[in-house]
Copies of this chain bind each other. A is one copy, B any other.
Amino acid sequence: MEEVVELYRKNGGEVKDFRKFDGTPDIGYRIQYEKKICEVDVQMFGLVSGDLNPVHFDDGVASKTKFGGRVAHGMLTTSLVSAAVARMPGLIVLLETHFRYTAPVRVGDTVRVVGEVVEKENNRYRLDVKCYAGEKVVVEGWVTVLSW
């Protein structure tokens, strides 16, 4: 892991501490998490997934689209939701996700994930989720998780 972390950091990637959120999740429990999307994030996400869609990698192609330039992978943005819910108390396991991708995210944007528990059944939680780049909603949806 050290070698990968070193390269990531050297390329400007933001290494986040994995700190758990406080409190006891119940209806109305809110979470927030943010991370900067860097070039190295787009590169690593592209390699890991195999999604080398030119809209994420090729300025020439991307500049001719409605986006007017390269954008980060939508699922790179929503990977931050995984990181956000993982910070809830307990050992968190993802069960279900639903996301609408409403606006593009660019390299250099800081994405902020905001979530709120809207249903609870024993150790199973459903959270409504929004991701923001600045004041703009870039993703909205919901997730259900188990807390072990």
A44 to B65 alpha-carbon distance, docked (Å) = 29
> Is A32 an interface residue, CB under 8 A from the partner?
no
Chain B residues within an 8 Å CB radius of A134: none
Q: Tell me if A127 is interfacial: C-beta within 8 Å of chain B.
A: no
**Cα(A100)–Cα(B96), bound, Å:** 4
Taking CB atoms, residues of chain B closer than 8 Å to A94 are 73-75, 101
Q: How many copies are assembled? A: 2
**Interface size classification for chain A:** 35 or more
Q: What is A's interface to B at a CB cutoff of 8 Å? A: 1, 3-5, 7-8, 11, 13-16, 18, 33, 35, 40-41, 43-45, 47-55, 57, 61, 65-66, 73-76, 78-83, 86, 91-101, 148
List 27 contacting pairs A-B, 8 Å CB cutoff, sorted by A. A1-B57, A4-B44, A5-B47, A13-B47, A15-B47, A18-B50, A18-B52, A41-B48, A48-B48, A49-B82, A49-B83, A51-B82, A51-B83, A53-B82, A53-B86, A55-B92, A73-B79, A73-B82, A73-B94, A74-B97, A75-B94, A94-B101, A95-B101, A96-B100, A96-B101, A97-B101, A98-B99
